[in-house]
Structure 1
Amino acid sequence: MKSLRARLSIFLLAAALAAAAATGALTYRNTLSENEQLFDYQLRQTAITLRDQGFATELHALPDSEDPSSVVVQIWTANGTVLYLSHPDSALPDRATLGFSDVDANGRRWRVYSMASRGRIIQVAQPLELRRDLAANAALRSLRPLFVLAPLMALLAWLIVDRALRPVRRLAGEVKRRDALSLESLPEAGLPSEIEPLAHALNALLARLKLAFDSQRAFVADAAHELRSPLTALRLQLQLLERAADEAARRDAAARLKEGVERATRLIEQLLLAARTAPGESGHAPRQIDLAEAVRLAIAEAWPLAEARRIDIAFETGEAAGTEPGDQDAGALLISADGEALRILLRNLLDNAIRYTPEGGHVAAGLRRDGNAAVLAIDDSGPGIAPAERERVFQRFYRGDNPSQPGSGLGLAIVANIAARHGATITLSDSPLGGLRVEVRFPA
């Protein structure tokens, strides 16, 4: 059964019927008990009435409230002589237990009340099956309102469920009317507290989708703009190669064309990395990674470029990397991360530091533990970044006031996306080496 309305209606009706059945059972039992007490009271009052009449030659008739066919009266002396018997064919035993008792006589079970008065025994009796039939009929009459109200209870349960689910239908209709470009928040006013978290979660999802779509649209526009220049440059260099008049000119044009292809290739690679690490994109499942080992592998990968530019790279951990005295050695720091994304982050940080550091300069990678966090610091002896620009450098394609420097303006944007995915924070500051320090704080 998929219908929530049908399920709720059935559950509510079942609960109401179960409550009605329990109420009916208790009412039936109490009514039976009360009728039994009433019948016992009538037997006792009948016996008292006979006692008060005295024992004249003729007994007066029983009270009008008594049914002579259902009540048997027997009076006898202490020596067993029967003085009066209302129904000769329903004689009771000549031995009596004073008070109430159940006896068998003439193939029937009787409820008997006996009392002694003036040397005589008065017995008043009723058949038990008759008493039970009368009590059961009275109890069933008390249950008739429950049977009459059962259909009304079912209708009321259906109407209550229908009214309770109206906000859900309204929310579903609002979602159904949206198209792929309608990512505005759904209205949450007037929603029940049980449905409000669902609407809030949907709005959060719509906000993330809107952010992702806006980011993708801006990325595509920026990428198209950035690719136009290198492609135009490649076309011009190809034309120069075709028009070269001698071998030296051809070699120079070919070298420039090769550099242009390499720059375009790197730009495309960075564009692809930026798209893969953009907000809303899912990566690999995180796993436990030794951050120190990941830094060593990234340094080994960047070593050829550093060697070509005669740049020295150092890797320091623990107190050698600037930790406070008493910090533990960071020789092995485990963090939960996407291994491929972490490799890209480290590679971009080291690549930026190497490319922006003049030849013969220095780059240092430091790793330390700070409380429950693992802190990675990359220092270089390059020109650094002015404090006023340190927030803007995480924007895509932003290259600062000196666009002549090599690069696509995507490296730090990629680093920021990966850090945000891992819950890490990035801080830019002045480096002791004279350039820029990039600090990434990972939750350990």
Structure 2
Amino acid sequence: MSLLDTLRGRLFAFLLMLAGMTAVGVGGGTWLSVRAEADGLFDYQLQQMALSLRDQGGVTDAESAALSNPDLDYLVQVWSVEGLSLYSSRRPGVTEALPPRAVLGFSDQRIGDEDWRVYGAATPLRVIQVAQPLSVRRRLATSAALRSMLPIALAAPLAAGLMWWLIGVSLAPLQRVVQAARSRDAASLDALPTTGLPGELQPLVGAFNGLLARLSTAFEQQRTFVADAAHELRTPLTALKLQLGLLQGAAPGPEHDAAVQRLGAGIDRAAHLVEQLLALARAEPGAASAPMQPVDLADIARLAHADAALLAERRGVVIHCEAEQPVPMQGDAAALRSAIRNLLDNAARYGARTVRLRVTTESGQPLLQVDDDGPGIPPELRERVFDRFQRGEAQTGQVDGSGLGLAIVQAVARRHGARVGLGVSEMGGVRVEMGCG
């Protein structure tokens, strides 16, 4: 049984229970109402029968015969004001007569083994009592109540069938959405159809289509990333293979030493590329990473400065670190350290001679700035440099970097809810700002 069938059955059971409780309530109310109306009608008949006999001088033989009919469910007693019995009817199975002392108006009395409803009326000439068995009244009232409830009983199965059909019709759009969702896989992430959907389902399907669109974009980016990574790794691995061949064929001497040096440099580039790929993968949204916890951005910046100092010294680059005051925040220390190290590494690789790293606060929010005196980045290229495997050019020519540094910085910033911006530094080169808010 599918989920929608279970949902349909559950809704039907709940609605049927509600309808049943409503029907019982309405039926019970109808029952009591009809019985009350029947009792009122029977009392009215008793009263009218008694009043019809109060002004007659006597009971004729024809009236006496009619009142003595065994099919008549009434007893009639008529007295004169002197207490003389003028008439007293009998009913089969009833051996006792009505009480000789009449109670004016309506009363319930026990006559023999049966309860009776009695009405007494008095005139200046006579006293009349008319009685009817309560069992007869109840039987007739129950019969009338059952007849009034018969339409409800006959309509109940029809209403239940109509309810089942309406639930199915109401769930049909959801069934179509479920079938369309089941037909989707990783290779088919097209949006679900929204035509003909009720307004209640539009937000749900719209949100699901948004999720499919984000998944499609993420999968496309992943495929592009894998393809680019494979291409980027192929080049250094091919170079390593060639250098290994040259090393194997080289005799001991200067050429052998140069080949070993080139092989070592190639291994370093390949290792750096793999390290950058792993750092980018860890910084991507949704990747398993360390939880956010209280950190000091200034302390992290000092550690990143120490990490980048060796490369900067080899390249003749001076890095100044201005991070004396603590800058507390919630973050991933390892990811932030990697991002800052990449910023400093980029500045050193792309022709800067002096780099300044500053950590401060702005409007109570952490702010990190990296300025350099390098050649800068043209405004039309500032957006593209955040793409993966986008390399710029230093003053000395093509850079041997991986092209992932700023992509890693942007991924880390997004994970921390921060923004990254490029501008012109007061030192003449590029200013990179990463700040929250």
Is TM > 0.5 for Structure 1 vs Structure 2? Answer: yes
Q: Is the 8 A contact 1:13 1:153 kept in 2?
A: no
Which of 426, 437, 442 aligns to 2:431? It is 437
Calculate the TM-score normalised by the size of structure 2: 0.88
TM-fit CA distance, 1:117: 0.9
Q: Which structure 2 segments of 5+ residues have no match?
A: none
Tell me how far apart the structure 2 counterparts of residues 287 and 68 of structure 1 sit (CA, whole Å): 96
Q: Does 1:379 align with 2:374?
A: no
Q: CA RMSD in A?
A: 2.7
TM-fit CA distance, 1:148: 1.5
Matching of residues 253-292 of structure 1 within 5 Å: 253-278=259-284, 281-292=287-298
Q: Is the 8 A contact 1:279 1:417 kept in 2?
A: yes
State the number of aligned residues: 427
Q: Does 1:185 align with 2:191?
A: yes
Q: Residue 199 of structure 2: SS of its match in structure 1?
A: coil
Percent sequence identity over aligned pairs: 47
Q: Is the 8 A contact 2:344 2:355 kept in 1?
A: no
Tell me how far apart the structure 1 counterparts of residues 60 and 226 of structure 2 sit (CA, whole Å): 122
Q: CA-to-partner distance for each residue in 1:126-171, whole Å, 9 max, x for gaps?
A: 1222211211111011111222122212211111111111112211
Tell me how far apart the structure 1 counterparts of residues 225 and 370 of structure 2 sit (CA, whole Å): 27
Q: Does 1:396 align with 2:388?
A: yes
Q: Is the 8 A contact 1:46 1:124 kept in 2?
A: yes
Q: Residue 388 of structure 2: SS of its match in structure 1?
A: coil
Corresponding residue of 1:369: 362
Tell me how far apart the structure 1 counterparts of residues 11 and 301 of structure 2 sit (CA, whole Å): 58
Corresponding residue of 2:134: 128
Stretch moving more, 54-63 or 180-189: 54-63
Tell me how far apart the structure 1 counterparts of residues 179 and 417 of structure 2 sit (CA, whole Å): 36
Calculate the TM-score normalised by the size of structure 1: 0.87
Q: Is the 8 A contact 2:336 2:412 kept in 1?
A: yes
Moved over 6 A (4+): none
Corresponding residue of 1:83: 86
Which of 134, 140, 158 aligns to 2:164? It is 158
Q: Which structure 1 segments of 5+ residues have no match?
A: 318-329
Tell me how far apart the structure 1 counterparts of residues 42 and 300 of structure 2 sit (CA, whole Å): 94
Which of 46, 64, 73 aligns to 2:76? It is 73
Q: CA-to-partner distance for each residue in 1:286-322, whole Å, 9 max, x for gaps?
A: 34444344334333433444455452321247xxxxx
Q: Which amino acid aligns with 1:407?
A: G
TM-fit CA distance, 1:351: 2.6
Q: Which amino acid aligns with 1:24?
A: G
Which of 401, 405, 414 aligns to 1:411? It is 405
Tell me how far apart the structure 1 counterparts of residues 351 and 70 of structure 2 sit (CA, whole Å): 119
Matching of residues 201-216 of structure 1 within 5 Å: 201-216=207-222
Tell me how far apart the structure 2 counterparts of residues 187 and 338 of structure 1 sit (CA, whole Å): 41
TM-fit CA distance, 1:419: 2.1
Q: Is the 8 A contact 2:418 2:434 kept in 1?
A: yes
Q: Residue 390 of structure 2: SS of its match in structure 1?
A: coil
Q: CA-to-partner distance for each residue in 1:77-127, whole Å, 9 max, x for gaps?
A: 345432221127341222233211222222322211111112421111112
TM-fit CA distance, 1:214: 0.8
Tell me how far apart the structure 2 counterparts of residues 358 and 401 of structure 1 sit (CA, whole Å): 12
Q: Which amino acid aligns with 1:209?
A: L
Tell me how far apart the structure 2 counterparts of residues 238 and 62 of structure 1 sit (CA, whole Å): 136
Matching of residues 192-231 of structure 1 within 5 Å: 192-231=198-237
Corresponding residue of 1:247: 253
TM-fit CA distance, 1:266: 0.3
TM-fit CA distance, 1:282: 4.8
Tell me how far apart the structure 1 counterparts of residues 80 and 242 of structure 2 sit (CA, whole Å): 142
Tell me how far apart the structure 2 counterparts of residues 53 and 221 of structure 1 sit (CA, whole Å): 117
Q: CA-to-partner distance for each residue in 1:346-371, whole Å, 9 max, x for gaps?
A: 33223323433545x23222221325
Tell me how far apart the structure 1 counterparts of residues 302 and 327 of structure 2 sit (CA, whole Å): 11
Matching of residues 315-330 of structure 1 within 5 Å: 315-316=322-323
Tell me how far apart the structure 1 counterparts of residues 249 and 19 of structure 2 sit (CA, whole Å): 94
Q: Does 1:51 align with 2:54?
A: yes
Tell me how far apart the structure 2 counterparts of residues 108 and 200 of structure 1 sit (CA, whole Å): 74
Tell me how far apart the structure 2 counterparts of residues 225 and 109 of structure 1 sit (CA, whole Å): 105
Which of 416, 420, 424 aligns to 1:422? It is 416
TM-fit CA distance, 1:378: 2.0
